[in-house]
Structure 1
Amino acid sequence: MHIPTCDTAQQAIVPFSQALDEALQPQPDYDVSRWLYVPNRYCDYRYILGTRGNRPLICVGINPSTAAPNALDNTLKSVERIALGNGYDSFIMFNVYAQRATRPDDMEKECNPALHEENMAAFRWALEQTRTGSPAVWAAWGAIIEKRGYLSHCLNDMIRIGRELDATWYSAGARSKKGHPHHPLYLRKDSGLDPFDAALYVDQVLSKL
């Protein structure tokens, strides 16, 4: 379990570009030809975790927990199975907010603009890794997005970036009564992907919370 030691505003945030450069260098603990892990060390935030390929499925949760290369948690194992089962050659786990907190209730109360800005740089980079077709983004945050008011604003920035890069959004499994996309953990391993209008979701679901 990861419990934040302090708000990220009290920490030095490594810019995504620098963290990426470091993550692309050979690592003693995992194979960089297979894994993407940025930053490449365990700390109170994580930009991306995934595998390398030409056609990744970019899964979007709310915030990271303890998963790392060669040590995927059950959620990430499900993400990888569904990505491969739907014809993608890899997956990238991204999150609306980059602060690690196994329990969403432990997330910081206020958005750290510096961390958010670097997280959006990571999202843009993740979308640019698709070599064939449009980037595929899987909305998979469940009702946890209700935990903090700033999360919908973060998501709006992601929708804007996705629009710039012609991303296509999907969900998997049944949506909640309120309309939230299903979390990956309890999905069937053969779950397919359904079209998801992220902008409409923000307008019709999040704006009414």
Structure 2
Amino acid sequence: MYDIYSNSHNDLWRFTLGKSGSRKLFTIGLNPSTATKDKSDTTVAKVEDAAQRNGFNGFVMLNLYPIRSTDYNALPVEVDPEAFSENINRIEALIAAEPNPVVWAAWGESIRARDYFVTATKELIERLKKHGTCWQHFGPLTKSAHPRHPSRLQYAWAFKEFDTNQYLQTLTT
């Protein structure tokens, strides 16, 4: 089903999932749920559909943290430094290898559930600047100015530029 897939620790950590294409949409969610290289889940299905509807012929699902959980509240309170570091490094390597990368910020309000989600966001925004990353969000930002999670999307919405400098200011307040 998906030809882009990388994981670790008996598939308890998932780093990438997607389909190859000459114009890929990189989507950064919160943390992976149940999708594997052989089956989709609701979030991945919506990401794939939104990518296709908006002129992308491939996509890669990434996350701020690679440990699987169907409920972000069940994730550990303390960060696993190995998981965190490997995930950030893999994301940067993928983006660096892509000409004109487009990244969909798609983590939702739940970014505040764990400090390491916020830390990952700040680090990724800073590290991806040097790669000419075009950040996007889909639909209106939430009331708290966070980019919406794909599970909450409406297909009538559109991609819009995501002002990462302004967003970083909201994360520090």
TM over 0.5: yes
Is the counterpart of residue 121 in structure 1 residue 89 in structure 2? yes
User: Aligned to 2:135, what secondary structure does the other structure show?
Assistant: strand
Report the number of matched residues.
173
Is the counterpart of residue 176 in structure 1 residue 137 in structure 2? no
Which of 68, 71, 92 is matched with 1:103 structurally? 71
Corresponding position of 2:161: 195
Which of 91, 94, 104 is matched with 1:138 structurally? 104
Quote how far apart the aligned CAs of 1:138 are.
0.3
| Deviation string, structure 1 residues 24-70 (Cα, Å, up to 9, x no partner) | xxxxxx5xxx5111027852111111111122100110100110123
CA RMSD of aligned residues (A): 1.7
Larger CA Rg, structure 1 vs 2 = 1
C-alpha distance in 2, partners of 1:135/1:172? 16
User: Aligned to 1:46, what secondary structure does the other structure show?
Assistant: strand
TM-score, structure 2 as length reference? 0.92
User: Aligned to 2:59, what secondary structure does the other structure show?
Assistant: strand
C-alpha contact (below 8 Å) 1:35/1:69 kept by paired residues: yes
| 61 and 172 in structure 1: CA distance in 2 versus 1, 3 angstrom threshold | same
| Deviation string, structure 1 residues 90-124 (Cα, Å, up to 9, x no partner) | 01000011111110001111112211111112101
C-alpha contact (below 8 Å) 1:54/1:129 kept by paired residues: no
Which of 36, 41, 48 is matched with 1:80 structurally? 48
C-alpha distance in 2, partners of 1:40/1:148? 22
Which of 4, 19, 22 is matched with 1:54 structurally? 22
C-alpha distance in 1, partners of 2:54/2:128? 21
TM-score, structure 1 as length reference? 0.77
> Could you list the runs of 5+ residues in structure 1 that have no partner in the other structure?
1-29
| Deviation string, structure 1 residues 157-196 (Cα, Å, up to 9, x no partner) | 1112210111010000121111111111132235321000
Corresponding position of 2:128: 162
C-alpha distance in 1, partners of 2:19/2:41? 14
C-alpha contact (below 8 Å) 1:82/1:191 kept by paired residues: no
User: Aligned to 1:47, what secondary structure does the other structure show?
Assistant: strand
Identity of aligned residues (%): 31
C-alpha distance in 2, partners of 1:126/1:85? 23
Corresponding position of 1:207: 172
